[in-house]
Amino acid sequence: MRNFPPHVPPKPEDPALPPEILDTEFQKKYPPDGQLGRELQPNARVWKVYRDEAIQHDDGMLQAWNNTINILLTFYGLFSAAGTAFVIESYQFLQPGPADMGSALYALAVNDTSAIRSCAASSRQPSSTALFINGLWFTSLFLSLAAAFLCILIKQWIDEYTTRTRASSLNASHWSRPL
């Protein structure tokens, strides 16, 4: 212990709080701090109350988010499946038709070089409408899969956040630190 000069008054002890009657559920769950001036210490009652209230609030919010994301994932999955069926059907408009292939094969079979040149010159190009429709279907499929991917990332973030809020910490005030 240090020896202080006589003109320095000794530090007074923190006064103890008078004992409280623990008659409510709140007081039983969160007993008061023992001494005055210790209300913001790392294990004070305020941090325990804060943690429990924050967890209760987060549970409701995260449950609602999780349910919404599950619904969106289901919708995007079904939409992607339906969109894929349309992509498969509309993609055929970009391919040469069976008549074009048949005439090219016939020209090869009879060894008619002039017919081969005319088949190559008249090979069917997809119409601009077919290109536009296919572009829309592929864009729709891409956006649907991108949205599903974002939903999966959000679900992972929700799980990480939930794990963090449930984790034990050094003390109650340490738990309340920002992410």
**Domain range annotation of the chain:** 42-170
Largest CA distance in the chain: 123
Helices (H) then strands (E): counts for the chain = 6, 0
Are the beta carbons of 83 and 143 closer than 8 angstroms? Answer: no
CA dihedral over 66, 67, 72, 75, signed as positive or negative: positive
pLDDT value at residue 142: 97
Mean pLDDT per 10-residue interval, the chain, length 179 residues: 63 65 79 73 80 88 95 96 93 74 68 58 75 94 97 94 76 60
The model scores a pTM over 0.75: no
| Residue-level pLDDT at 26 | 81
Predicted pLDDT at 110: 72
What's the pLDDT score for residue 167?
A: 73
